Each structure stands twice: as structure tokens, then as C-alpha cells.
Chain A
Amino acid sequence: MSLELHQLELRWQEPPGRLLVPPLTCTISPGQPVTLMGPSGSGKSTLLAALCGTLPPAFSLQGRIRLNGRELTALAPEARRVGILFQDDLLFPHLSVGENLAFGLPRTFRGSIRQQKIQEALEQLELPEAASRDPATLSGGQRARVSLMRTLLAEPEALLLDEPFSKLDQALRQRFRSFVFAHAASRKLPVLLVTHDPEDAQAAGGPVIHLSLPE
């Protein structure tokens, strides 16, 4: 169980070949979150987009990405089984809390089992009554947790974190951070964290990769 990057590099299409992220090789194992740090514009979020398969057309990618032995590079985003959490919770405003959770839950869970999975998730979130609530009525911390749970219910094999703690206040940030890492660890997910905050890196506890600004 691991996410492996092998000689992964990102270049701009315009001007052709300009290097954004120099070749990167690392293996991310469960329980050993890797943290990616660097100034704005160093390509951290673009690297995550490359791993998700949503690299903007302005960039090109070389190298290999393997997840549990599967080659991801050529796969569509939806086939990669890579979960991602953004700075904003991005709960769908047109769906209720329960429907947001169901959105990524695989189709193999049907009928009452489906309901049961969602109810279990709500209970883990300590929001047992919230299934039919509008996500807009939740607090920021609750929304962040629902967002993580939605990602986990899709049964990803790796978790990418794109500064998901940066918009939360200090107290909330600590709680949500341990919530995320605990859940990732219990599911044995390799985690790649992008952050500006050294405290995040410390909490992650794994190796830190520093990206510098491209020349």
C-alpha cells in the first residue's frame, strides 16, 4: 500500500519546456504522511492536480505515478481512486448533508446498506441528525469534517490534502488536523499534504519536501 512518484516533473507548455517542478521521486506509505512545502507559485497545487488527473492544459507532465501498483498517469480522474481535500470544504450547495456524503459512495452499496453507511458516517461526525440538513447551516468545522468524510466514503486509496487547514482558526485547526490524520491512519491511506504552515508539517510527522520557485 503506497503512492509512488517516480521522476515526476511538470513543465509549462508556454514557453515550451519551461520547468515548474523538477524531477521528484518519493514513496508515500500509510502512516508516514509526506508534506510538500514551498512559496506560492512553486507548483505545489499543480502537482496535486497532476496526481488527481486534473492538470490544467497549460502544463505537461513527465514521469510516473503508481498507486498500490497501478499506473495512474494515463487514467481519468474518476478512475484513479485518489481523494482530495481542498482549502474550502466545497460541499455541494444543492445537496443535503446526507446527499453530499452519498455523492461519492460507490454504487455497490444499495438500498438500506447505503442508508446505513451514511448514518454511520454521520455518527462518526457526531452529527447523527444532520442527514437532511442544508450544508450551509453547519459550522465551518462541521463542514470541513463532512467534506473529509465525503472523500473517505468514496473509498480512495490515497489522500491528498491541499492546505485544508489554512482557513480554520487555531483551535479548530488542531482538532480537524488530528481528525484527518487519525482517519487516514485507521484506513491505512498514504497521505500527501501541501501546506504553508510548519505546524501542519510537524503534526503530519513524516518527511518534508521543499519546492523552490522555478527559475
Chain B
Amino acid sequence: MAAALRAVTRWSPLALFPGVLLTGLVLPILVGVLGALLPALGYLPALGQTTWGVHVMAELLAHPSVFPALGLTLLTGLGSTLLSLGLALGLVGASWRTPWLRKLSTGLTALLALPHAALAFGLAFLLAPGGWIARMLGTVLAWETPPDWITIGDPWGISLLLGLTLKETPYLILMTLAVLPQVQASSSFRVATALGHSPQSAWWRAVVPQLLPRLHLPLGAVLAYSISNVDMALILGPGTPPPLAMLLLRFLDAPDLSQRLVAAACGLLLLVLTLAAAVFLLALEGLLLRGFRKWMTPGPSASPGWSFPGASLLGNGLVVASGLSVLTLAVHSVARRWSWPHVWPTQWSLRYWERHLHGVLELAGETLLLGVAATLLALLLSLGTLEFLAASGRSELSHPGLVALYLPLLIPQPVFLLGIQTLAVRWHLDGTWGLVLWSHLLFVVPYLFLSLSDAWRQLEPRYLVIARCLGLNRWQVFWRVKLPMLVQPILIAGALGFSVSVALYLPTLFAGAGRVSTLTTEAVSRASGADPRLIGVYALVQALLPLLILTGALGGSRGWLRHRRGLAA
């Protein structure tokens, strides 16, 4: 981005946008990381700690939960990342040339908009011994009591791994679809089949090796989230020992303030773990694409090769499982009595809705305000930066710029949020609405910018040349050609940006300091021990809010495009 700044001749007001992006969003992340690293090395003057050394790290490593937590985090984080990638590539490979995927992509966008916590609660309700899956089996097999299986919070983190996979696969599918045109997948595929390769072989040998290097950043974001998430881990993960990020929160919540240092050390460990996992994935890719590359050129075989079994079934399964999760939230919220093994409640009641409607709506209003504000600001910053790039003759960010933009997604959230929180407390900014809004921008901007820059890149540049030749200036081209042509991607990107804000748990918790809360923080805080009916109410509203906005955006853009068939994607 710095290079982009230099490229513009003299002063351009547009340079303000990437400038704000750089100094307002990327720089604080680095400061935040530093703010977490120093205490990890023993330096936290606010608590009178100024002895540099590894004694804090040693204290952390002596904690009995650390190594089990480390293993658990690695298993769920790396496992769900690899599983999501395999599923996404397999699904796209089995279906990218069929109309089926186009139909599914609206469903996938909806899944993307679904907040992590709502999905995790729904999945917990589905998998629980008294949940729908057990009840259906129980009805068919005539079980007299609920099974005694351990699903939610199982000590191996399997249900957490499943939940993460369910949430991340749609994102990786959409990212894979976005890079397909960049690698000219269609012509590679045509050449490979003309040379005698079966469709599966052509996909894995000719297309996937070209895709993988372009998926590094999205995959890094998935990895960092899977390793360091707290909201899904609180709902689906085991408690003793918990994953590393939850252990960090426990140190932070400890009454003994010196435990803050241990929490910082835990953050450092999380950072190192994420880096190590990323290096492992890169090494794995290097092995497949460079070390043992013979698998790519054994020649075509006459047999159709192994095919991805039931890809369409699995793809629909993702949508159906998530849909059922939301539905089970709704059913739980209106259940009064629900005796075993009935699939539907035996007595219904709106009591919880009546009792909590006021509070939930108030929270929904706060969440909406925060999300809309973050989305509009992020739109302004992203559109400005894209225009700045266009004005300096580029259609996209340079690679370092892209990495900088991805930074909040690549670094485990607890690490830099911890550092930022320390600073915020010092400057008396913690718990202010402004800080929460800003912390949301850290995450809304990258998603929104990346989704918009795809649309910007795909816009036929000759339209703009024609408009300029017809006498419009750059500003007029932006308002009268670009924006109207890109209404649909802008609305959808906005809706996704909003859903990112709604879903944020840890940033709201850290920046809000308990004084600013959203549907997400309230719902997650009820994760342990609260009445499922109450959870149903909160989580359902949390799930519906972004879905409503997305439906509005899709409906709005359809209305806009009704008489413009050439623009409909």
C-alpha cells in the first residue's frame, strides 16, 4: 500500500482512503501484537512488572492445562482447516461446470452470513443427546431414554471441529469459485480432458495445483480463526482442558492481576502455534506441488478414476445441516414441554418470547446500529481505496497491500485484541461505542474490500474508456457508470460486511468491556448452563438479523436489475 501511495502524482484527495486504511486499521494491529508480546516477555509497567525474561512463558508452560490445550487446539484448528479445504475443493471440482453450483451459491452466501455463535448453538441443539438427531434415531429404534453419548463439549473437540468445518467450508467454496477465472480453469480443464484425462483427474491435476497458491490468504484466515476462536469453542468445545484461546480468557478473568502476563504469554503461544500451523500447511503444499510432483503427470488413464462420492448430496447437506440448526433454535425458543422421544415439542409456549422480547429487540437495535455504521464506513473506505487504485492505474492491491489488508484475519484475534485493550484502558477508551465500532471495522473492512475488489476487477474496462471518451470526468464515471453497474455486488458485499459485524464476539467483548453489548455477546455469555429456550430466543434473532439484511440486499438488487438483464450475474 505504501508503494501505491507513492505512485500518485502530487496530492490526490483519494490517497486519503488508503492512508486511513493503512494507519487506522493495519498499524494498530501491529501495535496490538506488540502490546501483547511485551507482557509475555515480562514487561507490563502498569502492573509494576519490568523484569524482562522468559519467566512468564515458563509459568505458562508449567500450567497443567497448557499442553493438553495445545494438542486440542492444533487438532481442531488444523483438522477443520484441512477438512474444509478438502470438502470445498472436492465439491467445487465435482460441480463447477454444472448449473447446480450456481443454484447452491445463494444458499452458500446465506451460510456465510450466518453468525458463528448461532450456528454453533443450533448445531449443539442438533447433536445433543436430547437433540433432533437423537430423537429421530430414538423414534425409529424405540430407545426408551436419550442416549448417553458425549457430543457437545467432547474432550477430543470433535463437535467443535465439525462446527468449524460447517462454518468455514462455504467460505472456502466461494473463495475457490472466485479464483477459478483467474487461473483460466475452463481452458486448463478442456485441454486436460482433450489429452485423455477424466474430469476428476483433470480437476485435481490440472486445475487444483494452480488454485492452491491463490488460496493462501483465505486459507490463512480460516486457519487463524479455527485456531483462535472463542465463541464456537465456548459453545461446542470441551471445558477441561479448553482450547488455548479459552485458556487465555480464563487467565485474563482471574482475580489475580498478574495473571494478565500469563494471558499475554498464552497469546504469544497462540501466535507461534498459528505460524507453525501455517508453515506446516505451506510445507505440505510444497511437498505436493514441488517435492513429489509425479502424481500430476502419470498420464491419463482409461478408467474414470475415483470420483468424489455424492458431492451434490454433501453440498446440499451443508446447507441443510445449517438450515436445520437455525430451525432447531426456533423450535427450542417456543418449546414448553418436550418429552422424549418426540420429534416436536409436546407443549408449545410463547412465554420466553413475551418475557424477553423487549430486551432482545433493544439488543438487536444496538447490533443493527453498530453493524450498519461499520458497514457504511467500511464501504466508504473500500470504494475510496478502489477508486484510488483505479486512478493510479491498477485494478487491485499489490501483494504486500493485500497481506496488510488481511492482517486482522491472519493474526489470532485474542493476541492483538489483548494488546489493544491494554492501550485502550490506559487511554480510557475501553467500553466506548467508538472503540467497539473501530474494532468491528478491523474485520468488516477486509471482507468487504476483498468482495468488492473482485467485482471491480471483473468490470469490463472498456466501458470506462467509452464513458471518458463520451465526455464524463473520472468522478462522473464513478457515479454514473461504475456504481450503477456494480449495484448488485455492492449490496451483497455490504450485507456480508454487516453479517461479519453481527458475528463478532471477541472484539465486541474486548473493546466493549461489558458496557457495549450485542446479540452475540449476550447469546454467547449464556452458553454455559442457560435455559435452551432462552438461548433459542437470542441465537435465533442473532441468526435472522444478517439473513434479513442479506435478503433485503438480494431483493433490492433483483428489483434494480429486473429490467437490466445484461447486468445480472
Q: Which residues of A come within 8 Å of B, CB atoms?
A: 52-54, 57, 76-79, 81-84, 86, 88, 90, 92-95, 99, 102-109, 114, 150-151, 154
Contacts and interface: CB of A to CB of B under 8 A. Distances in A.
B539 to A, nearest CB: 41
A93 B210 contact: yes
Interface stretch (B23-31, B187-195, B225-233, B478-486): B187-195
B293 A99 contact: yes
Contact of B206 (A76, A103, A106, A108): A103
Nearest to B98: A57
B193 A54 contact: yes
Nearest to A153: B195
Report which residue of A81, A82, A90 has the largest number of chain B beta carbons within 10 angstroms of its beta carbon.
Answer: A90
A103 B192 contact: yes
A78 B300 contact: yes
B194 A84 contact: yes
Contact of A52 (B194, B206, B297, B302): B194
* Interface residue SS majority, chain B: helix
Given A104-B299, A107-B300, A94 B289 contact: yes
A88 B187 contact: yes
A9 B282 CA distance: 50
A99 B198 contact: no
Interface in B259-310: 289, 293, 296-302
A53 B196 CA distance: 12
Contact of B188 (A92, A106, A114): A92
Contacts of B155: none
B197 interface: yes
B212 to A, nearest CB: 9
24 contacts: A52-B193, A54-B194, A77-B190, A77-B193, A77-B194, A81-B196, A82-B194, A86-B187, A92-B188, A92-B206, A94-B289, A95-B297, A99-B297, A103-B192, A103-B195, A103-B197, A103-B206, A103-B296, A103-B297, A104-B196, A106-B300, A150-B195, A151-B194, A154-B194
Nearest to B195: A104
Contacts of B210: 92-94
Interface in B143-198: 184, 187-188, 190-198
A19 B209 CA distance: 40
A169 B209 CA distance: 32
B456 to A, nearest CB: 24
Given A90-B188, A92-B188, A92-B206, A102 B299 contact: yes
A74 to B, nearest CB: 15
Nearest to B183: A93
B190 A105 contact: no
B194 A95 contact: no
Contacts of B187: 86, 88, 90
A83 B194 contact: yes
Report which residue of A54, A88, A114, A150 has the largest number of chain B beta carbons within 10 angstroms of its beta carbon.
Answer: A54
Interface of B: 99, 184, 187-188, 190-199, 202, 205-206, 209-210, 289, 293, 296-302
B459 to A, nearest CB: 23
Contacts of B293: 99
A54 B193 CA distance: 9
Contact of B298 (A54, A90, A107): A107
Given A92-B206, A154-B195, A104 B289 contact: no
B190 A52 contact: yes
Report which residue of B197, B205, B300 has the largest number of chain A beta carbons within 10 angstroms of its beta carbon.
Answer: B300
Contacts of A109: 299
A104 B300 contact: yes
Given A77-B190, A102-B299, 17 more contacts: A52-B190, A78-B193, A78-B202, A79-B302, A81-B196, A84-B194, A86-B187, A93-B210, A95-B209, A95-B297, A99-B296, A102-B297, A104-B299, A105-B299, A107-B298, A108-B299, A154-B300
Contacts of A81: 196
A82 B302 CA distance: 14
Nearest to B97: A57
B289 A106 contact: no
Nearest to B299: A107
A88 B296 CA distance: 22
Report which residue of A78, A93, A105 has the largest number of chain B beta carbons within 10 angstroms of its beta carbon.
Answer: A78
A52 B196 CA distance: 11
A116 to B, nearest CB: 14
Contacts of B289: 94
Contacts of A92: 188, 191, 206, 210
A184 B296 CA distance: 27
B194 A107 contact: no
A78 to B, nearest CB: 5
A83 B193 CA distance: 10
Report which residue of A57, A88, A105 has the largest number of chain B beta carbons within 10 angstroms of its beta carbon.
Answer: A105
Nearest to B303: A107
Given A82-B194, A99-B293, A154-B195, A107 B206 contact: no
A81 B296 CA distance: 20
Nearest to A106: B299
A78 B209 contact: no
Contacts of B193: 52-54, 76-78
Given A95-B297, A99-B296, A106 B209 contact: no
A94 B205 CA distance: 10
A57 B202 CA distance: 19
Contacts of A108: 299
B76 to A, nearest CB: 31
A56 to B, nearest CB: 10
A151 B293 CA distance: 21
A70 B493 CA distance: 51
Contacts of B299: 102-109, 114
Contacts of B202: 78
Nearest to B192: A103
Contacts of B196: 78-79, 81, 104, 106, 154
Nearest to B205: A103
A97 to B, nearest CB: 12
A151 B210 CA distance: 21
A79 B209 CA distance: 24
A208 to B, nearest CB: 24
